[in-house]
Chain A
Amino acid sequence: DTAVSQTPKYLVTQMGNDKSIKCEQNLGHDTMYWYKQDSKKFLKIMFSYNNKELIINETVPNRFSPKSPDKAHLNLHINSLELGDSAVYFCASSQDGGLGTEAFFGQGTRLTVV
């Protein structure tokens, strides 16, 4: 049983397209996240959701829109993809977003925009 699962694992698409990445966790956690890892391996928070409510939006372009239909799911939709969006996107979850709770990460989605 995969705790945090993302689909797809790889995504290759052309500039200007719209794409979605899905994430599901079966840990019963309240908080879910999207992180972006760039080509230099730098990991940065994009969004945090707690009980389906947006908590953190870390100056991410409006082309990125997260959606949390329930506590177990946090999907990421990206409009009008640009070359600079190429990265690995990680979904994660934690028991709650409170101080000290460790995050469990999905396997990542490698997005390549051509």
Chain B
Amino acid sequence: AQKVTQAQTEISVVEKEDVTLDCVYETRDTTYYLFWYKQPPSGELVFLIRRNSFDEQNEISGRYSWNFQKSTSSFNFTITASQVVDSAVYFCALSGWGSNYKLTFGKGTLLTVNP
């Protein structure tokens, strides 16, 4: 069985603060992919990043960075110098070799960035 845990239900920060969203996953698959999606207040789901289980290099995209650590089964997401527009629900998701054709989502973290 696969499981994704986002222990932080809600996070509130002030603009320009850095914030890290945690994601811990469980899978028996040796080959799997991890994803982050953003759901802004308008409701759509926006794909942010995909990382496979064989690539533990950290990735940076502008103010966003991701830290993948297989040793702790974590795939954490950091927003540097947060902005009000970053306010959204962020979902971590997992797709394993034994579970093609679906994503298993965490329960999401609501990030509120206050001006």
Which residues in A have some Cβ–Cβ distance to B below 8 Å?
A: 31, 33, 40-45, 48, 50, 55-56, 58, 88, 90, 92, 97-100, 102-108, 110
Q: Are B43 and A103 in contact (CB under 8 A)?
A: no
Q: How far is the CA of A98 from the CA of B33 in the complex (A)?
A: 11
Q: A43-B91, A56-B101 are in contact. Are A102 and B107 (CB under 8 A)?
A: no
Q: Are A48 and B102 in contact (CB under 8 A)?
A: yes
CB contacts between A and B, total, < 8 Å: 63
Q: How far is the CA of A55 from the CA of B36 in the complex (A)?
A: 24
Q: A103-B47, A105-B45 are in contact. Are A41 and B100 (CB under 8 A)?
A: no
Q: Are A42 and B107 in contact (CB under 8 A)?
A: yes
Overall SS of chain B's interface: strand
Q: For residue A50, which residues in chain B have a CB less than 8 angstroms away from its CB?
A: 101
Q: List 16 A-B contacts (CB under 8 A).
A: A41-B107, A42-B105, A44-B105, A45-B103, A45-B104, A58-B102, A97-B101, A99-B33, A100-B50, A102-B35, A102-B47, A102-B50, A105-B37, A105-B47, A108-B45, A110-B43
Which residues in B have some Cβ–Cβ distance to A below 8 Å?
A: 31-33, 35, 37, 39, 43-47, 50, 52, 89, 91, 95-97, 100-105, 107-108, 110
Q: For residue A43, which residues in chain B have a CB less than 8 angstroms away from its CB?
A: 91, 103, 105, 108
Q: How far is the CA of A55 from the CA of B101 in the complex (A)?
A: 7
Q: For residue B31, which residues in chain A have a CB less than 8 angstroms away from its CB?
A: 99
Nearest B residue to A106 via CB reads B44
Q: Are A40 and B101 in contact (CB under 8 A)?
A: no
Q: Are B102 and A104 in contact (CB under 8 A)?
A: no
Pairs of residues from A and B, 10 with the lowest C-beta to C-beta distance, nearest first: A97-B101, A105-B45, A48-B101, A100-B33, A45-B102, A43-B105, A55-B101, A107-B44, A41-B108, A102-B47
Q: For residue A44, which residues in chain B have a CB less than 8 angstroms away from its CB?
A: 105
Nearest A residue to B107 via CB reads A42
Q: For residue A88, which residues in chain B have a CB less than 8 angstroms away from its CB?
A: 43
Q: Are A40 and B44 in contact (CB under 8 A)?
A: no
Q: How far is the CA of A107 from the CA of B39 in the complex (A)?
A: 10
Q: Are A100 and B52 in contact (CB under 8 A)?
A: yes
